[in-house]
Amino acid sequence: AGAPDKYFEGTVTFLAKHSVFLVRDAEGFRALSATCTHLGCTVKALDDGFDCPCHGSRFDAQGQVESGPAPKPLPCFEVRLTDSGALLVDTTKIVGKDFVLKV
């Protein structure tokens, strides 16, 4: 996902190629799946969470379900730094919602 300083604090960046949101907040970086856990539509970022345009599911900023029909939270993926200092979102590694990469 490139260098950490590409992303400003308080931003949510949609990485379309991998259908992932990269979130940078005061603590660091987190990555959330953009794929709705209902039937797989791509959710949209809002100021305070995520919204699915297909059947109206709402998720909070941590990806937890606020209203269905989505049955499960948006998974969080591991974010780490490569040897060259770039951000890497590993969509094969699901982590807890408290995971954060501090930089």
Residue 88 binds ligand FES, judged by CB under 6 A: no
Query: CA separation (Å) from 88 to 40, 70, 95?
Result: 23, 27, 14
Q: Which of 32, 36, 79, 87 binds ligand FES (CB under 6 A)?
A: 36
Alpha-carbon torsion angle 40, 45, 48, 52, nearest 10: -30
Is residue 55 close enough to count as binding ligand FES by CB under 6 A? yes
CA distance 60 to 49: 4
Contact between 45 and ligand FES per CB under 6 A: no
Is the bond into 69 cis (omega within 30 degrees of 0)?
A: yes
Minimum gap (Å) between residue 74 Cβ and ligand FES: 10
- Single residue of 45, 57, 79, 101 touching ligand FES by CB under 6 A: 57
| Residues of the shown chain interacting with ligand FES in the complex, contacts defined by CB under 6 A | 36, 38-41, 52, 54-57, 69-70
